[in-house]
Structure 1
């Protein structure tokens, strides 16, 4: 299906996206949409005939566990609600631990790279087949950016993607900004990756901005698209005419004219790039499933689970770095995860930075150190507030009273634990003053 030029729809720029001219389609984060009701902006875009593609971020298809049936059902419901021609997700893991390792469940709150090993590939392929069976439309998977490299990898990125497509028939969402990120952070050649992967399987392309700090490229989606990323787009265009290209922006949103200018630059880059060879006829493209399913090798899920849990625990729980990893890079990734966690909690619970003022960030990072997230950002916000109150913070009595009321209003009807009893006692003391 030809998609054309699109932009990532986000609530913060909904009006700007609706007003942009020449937009053929939009992509919306699936987890930000209810499965039975569309935001008014998306509904208006749909009425105008604009295609909307749901883009998932929480399935964790590269994780050791089989995909969660509830998450798959939610993604399927959103695809049907939107009348989407396909859905997309990531080649990544986002959680680890649990029954396969007999350890606590850990949440990354971020997309983490899958080891490019045969074990991990087999697990990923089986997870993809499970997802394909549960979804009403085709699935496309995105290559991710990474700050760290797994030791002893057995496949290049291009070969890993090619094997995935051959074994499952899944489509690809190629993020050229992520290919550039991996060039800077992992020394990988985007041209080699493009040479190795089956470009005829590309469903569409992502373009996004980032920034380099201290020799590390941060894929922020909050900065303008840079020339090196556009160079990778040219490399891709020299090999294939992609069905769709989309501009992603997730934060620090610029005025509408700047978004329009970036879209014009993407159009110009595609137009002036070397002409790609004609794509293969649709009839000879890969089938929905290229080869019969092959069972996962005995122990592959368990081995993948142990490796991923060790890495995630080092990143979010302060356990020792697994052998073979660059400790400096692990530190950079760990700090980036904590910073993102603080930012997202501030978005889902904006009252917390309002109550705590300039002290919010330092207080949250101190709380998060050694306290991994295990049940999503909203529960994380409640646990953070609970921890502050139990330890007697904040010192200002007015702020502490506001935080107490905020926590009690959202903690829900449940038997009070020791921490809850302490908070209620604190509230009673405050009210009595």
Structure 2
């Protein structure tokens, strides 16, 4: 059982994380970084797994793609899960490649009944292979499809109901997409099934004037913290972590930022409890 506040494990912090007294409750690893036959990455993984609970987060399953599921990839994912014994395994609601070519990007889906049936079926097959629910993350988007019949949160709610998957709620991604497409992020939260939310991501982004790009290379901004507090008011205490993938600061800076996350979570919980 994982609770509290975590960080994404990055190579820059291996040595610092391997110390007593680090104020981190759990770690998230990028699955693909450790789907290797051996070497130092796995040595560090085993060492840090002895200290911290872990979850696994993938970036290339392409659960919404049209290519067949990659069974070699799933075999490697299962082998890593057997090694790590993660609390859960997550990936993104997207397609990430076509004709065997990985685009190394998380491309959005049209939200239609046909796509819903396609993705739910693929999630079912993955869950059968993993022998556990798959946790699906909402991605940042920069384009929409004219053929969509549902909003993104409606699609997520329907997907969860049909497949039994769970949700990794990326609050920064909601903020980014809401700015880019002009929708209300609080209305988005209201459409989500609270019981299915397994984890929360927080991160920084890059404001480009007319649009925002989800870059994970900067501190979390105030409005994202405020949206997170609103999510806590609606959904309660959900394990929450910071993603930082570029311009990675010293661990001490991320721990200070994680303390800010704790404070906003506490404020949201206080409001939630007062309203009950």
Q: TM-score, normalised by structure 2?
A: 0.92
- Does the CA contact (< 8 Å) of 2:88 and 2:134 recur in 1? yes
1:215-234 aligned within 5 A:
215-234=210-229
> What CA distance in whole angstroms lies between the structure 1 residues aligned with 2:162 and 2:144?
24
* Structure 2 residue aligned with 1:190: 185
Q: Is residue 173 of structure 2 the alignment partner of residue 178 of structure 1?
A: yes
> What CA distance in whole angstroms lies between the structure 2 residues aligned with 1:67 and 1:276?
41
Output the aligned Cα RMSD.
Answer: 1.8
SS of 2:226's equivalent in the other structure is helix
Residue 241 of structure 1: how far off its partner (Å): 1.8
> What CA distance in whole angstroms lies between the structure 1 residues aligned with 2:163 and 2:31?
23
> What CA distance in whole angstroms lies between the structure 2 residues aligned with 1:255 and 1:22?
14
Residue 36 of structure 1: how far off its partner (Å): 5.2
Of residues 255, 260, 272, the one that matches 1:276 is: 272
Higher helix share: 1
> What CA distance in whole angstroms lies between the structure 2 residues aligned with 1:42 and 1:199?
32
- Does the CA contact (< 8 Å) of 1:95 and 1:106 recur in 2? yes
1:123-272 aligned within 5 A:
123-272=118-267
Of residues 72, 75, 84, the one that matches 1:73 is: 75
Residue 158 of structure 1: how far off its partner (Å): 1.2
Rg larger in 1 or in 2?
Answer: 1
SS of 1:76's equivalent in the other structure is helix
* Structure 1 residue aligned with 2:96: 94
* Structure 2 residue aligned with 1:392: none
* Structure 2 residue aligned with 1:15: 15
- Tell me the alpha carbon deviations over residues 28-61 of structure 1, each in whole angstroms, 9 at most, x when there is no partner: 110000355453332222222x111111111100
* Structure 2 residue aligned with 1:59: 61
Structure 2: segments with no counterpart, 5+ residues: none
- Tell me the alpha carbon deviations over residues 383-417 of structure 1, each in whole angstroms, 9 at most, x when there is no partner: xxxxxxxxxxxxxxxxxxxxxxxxxxxxxxxxxxx
- Tell me the alpha carbon deviations over residues 297-337 of structure 1, each in whole angstroms, 9 at most, x when there is no partner: xxxxxxxxxxxxxxxxxxxxxxxxxxxxxxxxxxxxxxxxx
> What CA distance in whole angstroms lies between the structure 1 residues aligned with 2:179 and 2:230?
17
| Count of residues in Structure 1 that have an aligned counterpart in Structure 2 | 270
Higher strand share: 2
Structure 1: segments with no counterpart, 5+ residues: 99-104, 279-433
* Structure 2 residue aligned with 1:378: none
